Amino acid sequence: MLVDDLQILVTALVLVPFAYAATNIDNLLIMTSLGAGRASRRHLVTGFLVASGIVLVVASMAMFIDRMVPAEVLGYLGFVPISIGIYLLLFTGQQAETTAQRATTWPAISGLLLANSGDTIFAIGPLFAESGNDARLGLAVGFVLIAVVWLSLILTLSERVARSAVLGKLGHRIAPWMMILVGLYILTDSTTDVV
């Protein structure tokens, strides 16, 4: 019995990081460009942690998700990153930016990540739905571990990009466009959609 429980736990600890990494490459790029261009480190970390916590809770409640949010509504989350991107394009270029005036706050970052995390929820949610309690614990631990690794990677990459004058300016200019493109992708009915 102990061997079976250990095997389930190890499988969960390995499975979630791979599913998380496969579905979060886009978020890694978005967060790196935000960290290099507009977002303060505090807002970046807080926004990431809030979004990751919500994704974990929603994914762990996957067996109930169809009762809470109709699948047809999920695609409209694409308007979140589009509106943030348009705001950044229209309003932040007109003012001199200081650390205190950064336009990308943690709620905006959380909203952007949540709007773009449907694939993560739909990849990890079924694992929670079909697993027993021991495996669910392993899934949750695996999720937290990979999220910490992902955040460290985001912070490291964004610092390196920000140190480079050319890459820093590129990240500053490309972040709004990346948000708009992510929003358009979410709004379209693509082949990666579950529904």
Q: What is the DSSP string of 136-184?
A: HHHHHHHHHHHHHHHHHHHHHHHHHHHHSHHHHHHHHHHHHHHHHHHHH
**Token pair 């970046």 in the structure block, residue:** 44
pLDDT in tens, the chain (195 residues): 555 667 667 766 777 888 888 888 888 888 888 887 768 889 999 999 999 999 999 988 875 655 666 666 666 767 876 887 788 788 765 554 443 344 578 998 998 898 888 778 877 887 777 677 777 888 888 899 999 999 999 999 888 877 776 665 665 677 677 668 767 866 775 443 444
Q: Which two tokens stand for residue 108?
A: 């905006």
Amino acid 165: pLDDT: 61
Please give the model's pTM, rounded to 2 decimal places: 0.69
Measure the CA–CA gap between 190 and 195, rounded to whole angstroms.
Answer: 10
pLDDT of residue 93: 57
Determine the angle formed by the axes of helices 41-60 and 106-115, rounding to 10 degrees. Answer: 40
Rounded to whole angstroms, how far apart are CA atoms 77 and 118?
9
Domain layout of the chain by residue ranges: 2-187
DSSP 33: H
pLDDT at 45: 94
Asked if residue 45 lies in contact with residue 155, where contact means CB atoms within 8 angstroms, the answer is yes
Comparing CA positions, the residue from 130, 154, 131, 137 lying closest to residue 39 is: 154
